[in-house]
Chain A
């Protein structure tokens, strides 16, 4: 499992709006039983994010929670969409900054209903690209 990342955007009703896993190149899709753990951890971390986001002026909240080898980093957008990354090492600020750039543009699309699940393939691809650039490299 090491080397992979899990990224999720959580909407206002605490529901996942967008999810993506980044696996290091060459590594096969890991065993299924980790997927739910990702969600479990991200979900439990919401408690911490909800507390921390009011303690900081920054959108990037750094590491908000830890679980065994997992670190949970969070980023809260201006409209309080909570973005969470599960990772093992290093800070993830660059990814979040890149992502926020992308998300802002996407959220301004009048056909996108705010906080609803993001069904866009283009968005998917772009996040995948960001992940490759900032997380996996």
Chain B
């Protein structure tokens, strides 16, 4: 027995561990079988059914076969699972040739791992010659002893293997004993469990039988093993659970429990069930975490207090060994600190995760662990020396990273930066805080206190572990080196920082990169390398500005300000300072500090003029609004314009500004001010104030914001059946989004404001800007006319110029120069002639100053009077229509000239006054008889405005005015409307004649007419006009008419024409007394051919024998035409023929019945030769037939002069052809004349301009007789027509 007798120490196997199976019986036999067995056992997987509903697993079994010893059997209460023998096998052979039980040979066939193994268990081999006797003699005893030992330890997992050797069997003739031996064994030991005894036939041969037997054996072995696992692990788990349930009991110890559950984990690991093993550790992890949390909540467990002992060692995680035995022992001895426990737990989890090929989970869990531990230490209020945790975290980060790097290739690591970068930046962070803590970042290096601290920290690391001692870059060495000197620290810190930034950037975590960069910048600032810091600060600031994070902006700016100050970037520093001084996120004191920085710079630099620092205004002060006086921002040359601006100072304290200036651009655009006024009404509030939008919202608007995604749905349908083929989302502005971002532009560098130097500047000096709103007023006297655009606003503080480069919205003011101007316009809509009317004179003085004695000289027209009143007053207005003064106006009229003395008035004022004018009805002009409308003559141009409507005739009067400011006369036209329209007509009654004059009032005014006269200006003694009028005065209302009638009487043969002049006095009905007598209104006209030559009389007689005419029966129409006078002057025309002293003329008559009451039978017209002698009568007889019954008016009888063909006329009618055309066409061509004579309608045609009949033949002409020459005596008479039959049907026609 070479096997050590001493109990085996609780060995820990890792992968080398296998479940233990003990072997008893024939050791030599087993030795011979072992190689095959160990090779065959794991070859095939076996399904392991699990308890508690866990999923079954396929498992490859391996075993560690050790020689059976009683000591191996677990005693009661021993929880060790790893050393637990899961199965006991008794090996025996039948049919052996010799019986030589030898116990000398011991063969070691267990493999031992160098580190752990102290197992040198030699297997106890027994060679047994089995035959019945031998069996009975030795084997049975041995077996019984073996079983008894197992029973004593209540171990039921055993197996008896009977190896059967074929070769030996051949030699044996008796087959029975073998069978009987197996049966015997079964009978003796396996009562009811006959399968506990397995026969293995010819194990070392290569035959199918051997194979079969092996398979059966292996299956049995595996099954037995698994059953044992299930049973024993189940029991173990139950015990473990029971133990866990006791955790509330006072004596419970987490560490004890830890060891128990870890035992289970080990077994799972041994069985290569890493997932299950990991679960055990995760459960322990969770349990512990929960305890810590509960502790934080006040529910402390006693055992936890142990973990609260001060941290004395911080040597980081150890992941290079599968099991950290030191830490495990600490736990076992209940001496582990929290960090020890966590470190050990994590190292086990890490190992398992790496077995599971999940290195990235290691990284992720590591980060959680590191943060978690820090939290837990805080919760448990564990005292930790300053920097200790930083060391621990730093070392751990690097350890995890190196462990992962050790098991992954470069490409894998590069593509999984996202998982590891967190550890990198955490390590960077921690190294940084260590550096700050130990004075390694300061300029001077660590002081003695710092050095002590470094020594303390290094002491807490302990000695470097042997497994990394030979590694050049071990975390331990790195930390030690970094803490050893300022330079080494810098190197390591920069390495880490750059690595972290690079990694963050490479996976697109720009913000995180900027965040690390900002720390780096802070480091550089500490190291007095502002030039290196600047780029990181600018980068970060740009990012924060773009995304509008106010506090980071402020913080970064503050750092940047310091950096710029160190770099001597004066302009940038001042700009940043001004931004900070106006930053409300800073304290008042900080803001004042930055404000003072600007002011002190400004005061320092005053001695060296010329150097200007231009800064944007918006961070210094904001332009809120601007107000012009005058409010329309238009001013005349020499006028004063004031501009009042509201500047909202952003500075925290009053700032004295030497000068505020507005740069003005001047452009000559003459008389453009109207446009401006228009613009002003659109863009300015009515009070002339322009508001400027506030530039910065509380949070800066993202400045380089990308346009929002423009996404659209897209459906593509099959053209054939409209079914949906594809669908998707299209981004329509990809080109905008994927555009390369400009990375070089810096938001905070000087904005490149160009300072304009113009000739036109509005200035205001010595202003003190208080915080908040300040009003500043600029005054300027307008000089050159034109448009002035306000361009820049500039505030000067010493050499510093705060400039607002563009004023938006644009602001302009205009200066204009105006020529003096005179405007004359009626007060009312139109001027009426004949009565006094008011006219307004407006003198716009423009640039001319009206002096005393200046006057307007009106060279007035005769027909227009200027009426002078004593009390005429002129009012003087200023340019803005404010009344300045008024003065008496002196108007002097002489013959031709009216002189108006103007009151003195300054330039750019307006003088207004009113004068009364009167348009006189001037000398009458003869109106012919044909003139229907009586017209007043006009002095000037006679406007031909006689429209058929109610328009008044107008007269223009032109007045030429000499103004004092000009050598040229101003000509002004005034249009007067004549309020009346006058018409006349001649009325006849046989030979008696009357003249009627109609006066129509077209104006809106009422008038009174008086003294209507009609006179013959030629004073023909033979004529008398006898008035038949009502008494004057007569009222004539607006839009009404008044008629006047005179009878014309004569004693001798009247002249062929008569001139008449109608005159009537008119005055406004409501005018009161007028100052001057008004001239009467006159109307002249001529009356011609007013003497009656022919009397036409028509009569319809019923057929002879009847009393009345009947419809449908012919009646006779008698027409008699009687000449009333002898030959007169008017008869002497072409139609007059003379023969034998007798004169005759040719007339044509025509009977027309327009109302179709009568049908004319036969010729309805004819030409007659009429003797020119008084009382000569011509009678015409015609037959007519009444078509209707009733009182019918007679048909018209018309009379025309029938003139012979005249060669001069080209369009003449053939009388015959015309006559034969039955008169129907006449109606179409004859012009209807307005009412002429005798009340009847008079139709005639001077020219029959018929189109169809003209054939160029000479034709006679028809000429209507003037209405005064024919008197129709039967006009208006009616004839009674009765219906033809007594059919009692009465047709009534109403026409």
A35 on interface, CB distance cutoff 8 Å: yes
With a cutoff of 8 Å between Cβ atoms, the chain B residues found around residue A47 in the complex are 504, 508-512
A66 on interface, CB distance cutoff 8 Å: yes
Contact indicator A43/B699 (Cβ below 8 Å): no
Contact indicator B509/A48 (Cβ below 8 Å): yes
Provide 17 A-B residue pairs closer than 8 Å at the C-beta atoms, listed in order of the A residue: A12-B708, A15-B702, A16-B548, A16-B550, A36-B554, A40-B552, A43-B549, A44-B514, A47-B509, A66-B367, A66-B371, A68-B374, A68-B429, A69-B375, A89-B293, A89-B375, A117-B699
CB distance from B126 to the nearest CB of A (A): 64
With a cutoff of 8 Å between Cβ atoms, the chain A residues found around residue B510 in the complex are 47
A46 on interface, CB distance cutoff 8 Å: yes
Report A23-60 CB contacts with B as 1/0, cut-off 8 Å.
00000000010011011100110111001000000000
User: With A47-B511, A89-B375 in contact, do A13 and B552 touch (Cβ < 8 Å)?
Assistant: no
Report A57-83 CB contacts with B as 1/0, cut-off 8 Å.
000000000111101000000000000
Additional pairs, 17, CB under 8 Å, beyond known A36-B552, A39-B549, A44-B511 = A15-B547, A15-B699, A36-B555, A40-B551, A43-B511, A43-B549, A43-B552, A46-B511, A47-B508, A47-B509, A48-B509, A67-B429, A68-B374, A69-B371, A69-B374, A71-B371, A117-B698
With a cutoff of 8 Å between Cβ atoms, the chain B residues found around residue A67 in the complex are 429
Contact indicator B547/A13 (Cβ below 8 Å): yes
CB distance from B168 to the nearest CB of A (A): 69
B515 on interface, CB distance cutoff 8 Å: yes
B418 on interface, CB distance cutoff 8 Å: yes
- In the bound complex, how far is the Cα of B544 from the Cα of A84, in angstroms? 17
For the complex of A and B, the 7 pairs showing the least CB-CB separation, nearest first, are A15-B548, A47-B509, A36-B551, A14-B547, A44-B515, A39-B551, A13-B702
The chain A residue sitting closest to B296, CB to CB, is: A89
- In the bound complex, how far is the Cα of B504 from the Cα of A69, in angstroms? 21
B587 on interface, CB distance cutoff 8 Å: yes
User: With A69-B374, A69-B378, A117-B699 in contact, do A44 and B547 touch (Cβ < 8 Å)?
Assistant: no
- In the bound complex, how far is the Cα of B372 from the Cα of A88, in angstroms? 10
- In the bound complex, how far is the Cα of B544 from the Cα of A68, in angstroms? 22
Chain A 91-113 residues near chain B, CB threshold 8 A: none
User: With A13-B702, A13-B705 in contact, do A43 and B544 touch (Cβ < 8 Å)?
Assistant: yes
CB distance from B699 to the nearest CB of A (A): 6
With a cutoff of 8 Å between Cβ atoms, the chain B residues found around residue A43 in the complex are 511, 515, 544, 547, 549, 552
With a cutoff of 8 Å between Cβ atoms, the chain B residues found around residue A117 in the complex are 698-699
CB distance from A87 to the nearest CB of B (A): 11
- In the bound complex, how far is the Cα of B704 from the Cα of A13, in angstroms? 10
- In the bound complex, how far is the Cα of B702 from the Cα of A47, in angstroms? 18
**Which of B375, B546, B549 has the most C-beta atoms of chain A within 10 angstroms of its own C-beta?**
B549
The chain B residue sitting closest to A115, CB to CB, is: B708
CB distance from B288 to the nearest CB of A (A): 16
With a cutoff of 8 Å between Cβ atoms, the chain A residues found around residue B418 in the complex are 51
Residues of B within 8 A of A (CB): 293, 296, 367-368, 371, 374-375, 378, 418, 422, 429, 504, 508-512, 514-515, 518, 544, 546-552, 554-555, 585, 587, 698-699, 702, 705-706, 708
Contact indicator B509/A14 (Cβ below 8 Å): no
With a cutoff of 8 Å between Cβ atoms, the chain B residues found around residue A39 in the complex are 549-552
CB distance from A66 to the nearest CB of B (A): 4
CB distance from A62 to the nearest CB of B (A): 11
- In the bound complex, how far is the Cα of B511 from the Cα of A39, in angstroms? 12
With a cutoff of 8 Å between Cβ atoms, the chain B residues found around residue A32 in the complex are 587
CB distance from A19 to the nearest CB of B (A): 9
With a cutoff of 8 Å between Cβ atoms, the chain A residues found around residue B296 in the complex are 89
Chain A residues with a Cβ closer than 8 Å to the other chain, count: 25
The chain A residue sitting closest to B558, CB to CB, is: A36
- In the bound complex, how far is the Cα of B583 from the Cα of A36, in angstroms? 14
The chain B residue sitting closest to A40, CB to CB, is: B552
- In the bound complex, how far is the Cα of B1191 from the Cα of A76, in angstroms? 106
CB distance from A49 to the nearest CB of B (A): 10
User: With A36-B554, A40-B515, A47-B509 in contact, do A14 and B375 touch (Cβ < 8 Å)?
Assistant: no
CB distance from B677 to the nearest CB of A (A): 37
CB distance from A42 to the nearest CB of B (A): 8
CB distance from A17 to the nearest CB of B (A): 9
With a cutoff of 8 Å between Cβ atoms, the chain B residues found around residue A16 in the complex are 548-550, 699
- In the bound complex, how far is the Cα of B264 from the Cα of A14, in angstroms? 50
- In the bound complex, how far is the Cα of B551 from the Cα of A46, in angstroms? 16
CB distance from A46 to the nearest CB of B (A): 6
CB distance from B431 to the nearest CB of A (A): 14
With a cutoff of 8 Å between Cβ atoms, the chain B residues found around residue A46 in the complex are 511
**Which of A51, A68, A71 has the most C-beta atoms of chain B within 10 angstroms of its own C-beta?**
A68
CB distance from A58 to the nearest CB of B (A): 18
CB distance from B63 to the nearest CB of A (A): 44
The chain B residue sitting closest to A70, CB to CB, is: B371
- In the bound complex, how far is the Cα of B293 from the Cα of A117, in angstroms? 38
- In the bound complex, how far is the Cα of B1283 from the Cα of A55, in angstroms? 114
- In the bound complex, how far is the Cα of B698 from the Cα of A135, in angstroms? 28
The chain B residue sitting closest to A15, CB to CB, is: B548
- In the bound complex, how far is the Cα of B367 from the Cα of A71, in angstroms? 12
Contact indicator B549/A15 (Cβ below 8 Å): yes
With a cutoff of 8 Å between Cβ atoms, the chain A residues found around residue B544 in the complex are 43
With a cutoff of 8 Å between Cβ atoms, the chain A residues found around residue B552 in the complex are 36, 39-40, 43
- In the bound complex, how far is the Cα of B480 from the Cα of A135, in angstroms? 42
- In the bound complex, how far is the Cα of B422 from the Cα of A16, in angstroms? 24
User: With A40-B515, A66-B371, A69-B374 in contact, do A35 and B551 touch (Cβ < 8 Å)?
Assistant: yes
- In the bound complex, how far is the Cα of B154 from the Cα of A58, in angstroms? 54
With a cutoff of 8 Å between Cβ atoms, the chain A residues found around residue B518 in the complex are 40
CB distance from A45 to the nearest CB of B (A): 8
CB distance from A38 to the nearest CB of B (A): 8
- In the bound complex, how far is the Cα of B702 from the Cα of A77, in angstroms? 21
- In the bound complex, how far is the Cα of B663 from the Cα of A36, in angstroms? 40
With a cutoff of 8 Å between Cβ atoms, the chain B residues found around residue A48 in the complex are 509, 512
CB distance from B715 to the nearest CB of A (A): 23
With a cutoff of 8 Å between Cβ atoms, the chain A residues found around residue B706 in the complex are 13
The chain B residue sitting closest to A35, CB to CB, is: B551
CB distance from A3 to the nearest CB of B (A): 12
With a cutoff of 8 Å between Cβ atoms, the chain A residues found around residue B546 in the complex are 14
The chain B residue sitting closest to A10, CB to CB, is: B547
Which of these, B293, B555, B708, contacts A40 with CB under 8 Å?
B555
The chain B residue sitting closest to A8, CB to CB, is: B549
With a cutoff of 8 Å between Cβ atoms, the chain B residues found around residue A40 in the complex are 515, 518, 551-552, 555
The chain A residue sitting closest to B586, CB to CB, is: A32
- In the bound complex, how far is the Cα of B126 from the Cα of A49, in angstroms? 70
With a cutoff of 8 Å between Cβ atoms, the chain A residues found around residue B511 in the complex are 43-44, 46-47
- In the bound complex, how far is the Cα of B585 from the Cα of A48, in angstroms? 27
CB distance from B1031 to the nearest CB of A (A): 82
With a cutoff of 8 Å between Cβ atoms, the chain B residues found around residue A35 in the complex are 551
CB distance from B1294 to the nearest CB of A (A): 73
With a cutoff of 8 Å between Cβ atoms, the chain A residues found around residue B371 in the complex are 66, 68-69, 71
The chain A residue sitting closest to B706, CB to CB, is: A13
CB distance from A71 to the nearest CB of B (A): 8
- In the bound complex, how far is the Cα of B555 from the Cα of A38, in angstroms? 12
- In the bound complex, how far is the Cα of B549 from the Cα of A46, in angstroms? 12
- In the bound complex, how far is the Cα of B426 from the Cα of A67, in angstroms? 8
The chain B residue sitting closest to A33, CB to CB, is: B555
With a cutoff of 8 Å between Cβ atoms, the chain B residues found around residue A69 in the complex are 371, 374-375, 378
**Which of B511, B514, B555, B698 has the most C-beta atoms of chain A within 10 angstroms of its own C-beta?**
B511
- In the bound complex, how far is the Cα of B296 from the Cα of A40, in angstroms? 28
- In the bound complex, how far is the Cα of B550 from the Cα of A15, in angstroms? 9
Contact indicator B699/A88 (Cβ below 8 Å): no
- In the bound complex, how far is the Cα of B1286 from the Cα of A54, in angstroms? 114
- In the bound complex, how far is the Cα of B706 from the Cα of A32, in angstroms? 33
CB distance from B571 to the nearest CB of A (A): 26
The chain A residue sitting closest to B378, CB to CB, is: A69
CB distance from A90 to the nearest CB of B (A): 9
With a cutoff of 8 Å between Cβ atoms, the chain A residues found around residue B293 in the complex are 89
- In the bound complex, how far is the Cα of B699 from the Cα of A15, in angstroms? 9
With a cutoff of 8 Å between Cβ atoms, the chain B residues found around residue A66 in the complex are 367-368, 371, 422
CB distance from A110 to the nearest CB of B (A): 19
